[in-house]
Amino acid sequence: MAHALAPPRVVNIADLRRLARRRLPRVVFDYVDGGADGEVTLRENCRIFDEVAFRPRNAVAGAAVNLGTTVLGTPLALPVVLAPVGSSRLIHPRGEAVAAHAAGAAGTAYALSTLSGCTLEEVKAASSGPVWYQLYLVGGRDVARAAIDRARAAGFSALVVTIDTPVAGLRERDLRNGTAALTSRRLWSMLPFLPQFLARPRWLAGFLSDGGLMCFPNVVLPGVGPMAYADVGVALEQSAVAWADLRWIRDAWHGPVVIKGVLSADDARRAVDEGAAAVVVSNHGGRQLDGVLPTLRALPDVVAAVGGRAEVLLDGGIRRGGDVVKALCLGARAVLVGRAYAYGLGAGGGEGVARAIEILRNDVARTLKLLGCSAVAELDRSYVQVPTDW
C-alpha cells in the first residue's frame, strides 16, 4: 500500500474524502461529493445508520469469518460492489478501468455507468472480476440496444437499469461552480477554472495526459459518433425509462436485469413482476429527488415486498463496514458503494480504490467477529435493534 494511503494518514473513508478534496479541483470534488437541492437525503443516507444498534453475541466468536457471498449466481469475495459512477474519468485518468481493475483484484464486481469515459471493452479487459453495465437510454432505443449488444459481446454479466433519473437532479454545487460552462468545450469558458486547475497540478497533468475532457464512448450517436460531454442533462431528459421498456431491454439482453432506484414496496413488486433478478434500494446517493427516504429506512419494506423472489441490494450512505453489516442484517444480500470508492479514486487512483475496499473489508470482518457471527451469509435481524416504528 502506498505510504500516503496507509495509517495514520488514511484510517477510514472520511480520510480518503479529505485527501480527494485536496487533490481534485473544486469543480470535480463537488461533482462527486454533492447532492441534490438542500442535500437532505445525502446527509440522511449516512445518518440513518446511527439509528440501528448492534446486538452482539459475546464469547462465541471463532477465529475465521467468511465474507463471501453470491450475487446473481456469481461468487463475490465480499458483499460490497462498486456502484456506477458517471464521469469517473474526470476524477482520475482512465478512472473507470482503474476502478474496475481494483474491484476485480479484490474479488468483487464493478458496475460501469453509461455515462463513462472508458469503453465497455476496455473496462471488461481491466477487471478479473464480474462487470455489470448500467443502462441509461441516452440517445434513444437504438443507441441503447447497440450498447447492450456490446456489453453482451464483451462479457458483462448483468444489466443495471436505473429508474430514478427521468431528469438530472438539481445539484446546486455544480450550478454554483459553473460546471456547465466547463463542459461547453470552448476555451474561453474554461478560463475561469484555470486557477483551481493550476492549484491541483497533479490532477491537471493527469487530465491532460489522458486526453483532456472525456466524451462518452459507449453512447454512439448515429452519424455523429461518441456523444460529447456537453449533452448530458438534455439527453437524460429526452430518454427517461418506463416500465414498458423493460420488455425490449430484457429481450435484447438475455441475461440478469437489475433495477436500480427502488424505494417503495410498490416499485419493488413491479420490478420483480417485470422480471428483475435483483433490485437496488437506492436514491442515487441523494443526487436526484431530495427529501426521499434514506435507503436503509426503505430497505425493510422492499425486502418484505420482494419476498425472496429476487435479490435485494442497497446503496447510499455506506462509509464504514459497520454500515454494510447493518444493511445485510436488514435483508440486503450485498451493498453497492459510490462515493466511498470515488473518494479513493480521487485520493490515489487505483491504489486509492483498493484502499477504500480494504478499509470496508477489514471493517466488515472485524464487525462480524465483534458480533459473534462467523459469516455474512448468517447475518439477520437478530443482530440489530431498530427503532420501534420501523
Ligand X SMILES: Cc1cc2nc3c(=O)[nH]c(=O)nc-3n(C[C@H](O)[C@H](O)[C@H](O)COP(=O)(O)O)c2cc1C
Q: Is 157 helix (H, G, I), strand (E, B) or coil?
A: coil
Q: Which of 85, 144, 249, 276 binds ligand X (CB under 6 A)?
A: 85
Q: Which stretch binds ligand X (CB under 6 A): 4-12, 149-157, 280-288, 375-383?
A: 280-288
**Residues in 184-223 that interact with ligand X by CB under 6 A:** none
Length of the chain: 390
**Binding range to ligand X, per CB under 6 A, among 196-204, 218-226, 263-271, 335-343:** 335-343
- Region of 186 on the Ramachandran plot (φ > 0 left; ψ -120 to 50 alpha; else beta): beta
Q: Which one, of 335, 162, 152, 354, lies nearest residue 253 by Cα?
A: 152
* Residue of 231, 315, 323, 363 interacting with ligand X (CB under 6 A): 315
Per CB under 6 A, the segment of 151-159, 195-203, 332-340, 367-375 that binds ligand X is: 332-340
The correct pick among 104, 316, 346, 348 for binding ligand X (CB under 6 A) is 316
Q: Which of 120, 292, 337, 379 binds ligand X (CB under 6 A)?
A: 337
Is there a contact between 72 and 258 (Cβ–Cβ < 8 Å)?
A: yes
Pick the closer one to ligand X by CB: 6 or 240: 240
Q: Which is nearer to ligand X, 193 or 216 (CB)?
A: 216
Alpha carbon separation from 373 to 57, 58, 108, 303 (Å, rounded)? 8, 9, 22, 22
- DSSP-derived letter for residue 181 is H
CA–CA separation, 25 vs 203, rounded Å? 8
| 288 sits near ligand X (criterion: CB under 6 A) | no
Question: Looking at beta carbons only, is 197 or 341 nearer to ligand X?
Answer: 341
349 forms part of the interface with ligand X (CB under 6 A):
no
Question: What is the grid cell recorded at 281?
Answer: 434500494
Tell me which of 92, 101, 254, 284 is the catalytic residue.
284
Least distance from C-beta 130 to ligand X, angstroms? 16
Angle (nearest 5°) at CA 147 between 337 and 157: 50
Within 10 angstroms of residue 344's Cβ, the number of other Cβ atoms is 32
Q: Which residues pair with 220 in a beta bridge?
A: 226
Residues with catalytic annotation? 284
The site for ligand X (CB under 6 A) is made up of: 31-32, 45, 83-86, 113, 115, 134, 162, 260, 282, 284-285, 287, 315-318, 337-340, 342
